[in-house]
Structure 1
Amino acid sequence: MKIILLRAGGGVVTEVYNGDMAKNIQEKILKYNVVFQPESEGGYTVIVPTLRGCVTYGKTLDEAREMAIDAIGGFMECLKEDGEEIPTDEKSVVSVIGFRASNFAAV
């Protein structure tokens, strides 16, 4: 029997076979920025900018997060099956940019 333990934050995976043998390996954890856009009718549309076309929806923020995890996993499986490179957000910078609303008000 094989048991895999993930340590949060470290990306260290411990594999234990029958409780006898343990081996530590370093596994890369892919992380993605996601945008949760509240919808006027309720719920959240979720967009993963790095994975172009990866969009989902959830009725609550928690459901939207779960849907995002499923969507990202499915999207990456498709990329893998098609032999395409899996993009990452490793070098992305997320920022909020503000504009004065009065500059864009109707005259």
Structure 2
Amino acid sequence: MSKLHLPIIIEQDEDGYYIVSCPSFKGCHSYGKTIEEAMENIKEVIEMCLEELEEDKKKNLNKFIGFRELEVGV
């Protein structure tokens, strides 16, 4: 069984919940009261996304390059 290493973005909302997203899949988001809970939840969502992908497309997912922060005036 091969393994994928996927990027996960973690944010915290105004109520203290952790919102997690995997940019490799459209609409791949989840949340949890703790980071650990959110990560377990996103793992389940990713597994569902992978089930829907054709086998050859699993090898050709978007390649994660990195994360940058951009400053903008408000």
Q: Normalising by structure 1, report the TM-score.
A: 0.57
**Residues 97 and 42 (structure 1), Cα distance of their counterparts in 2 relative to 1, 3 Å cut:** closer
Identity %: 25
Root-mean-square deviation (CA), in Å? 2.1
Partner AA of 1:85 in structure 2: K
Higher helix share: 2
* Runs of 4+ displaced beyond 6 Å: none
Higher strand share: 1
Q: Please say which structure displays the higher CA radius of gyration.
A: 1
Tell me the matched-pair count: 73
Q: Distance in 2 between matches of 1:48 and 1:33?
A: 6
Alignment of 1:92 onto 2:64: yes
Q: Normalising by structure 2, report the TM-score.
A: 0.78
Unmatched segments (≥5 aa) in structure 1:
1-26
Bigger relative CO (Cα 8 Å, ≥ 6 apart): 2
Unmatched segments (≥5 aa) in structure 2:
none
Shift of 1:84: 7.7
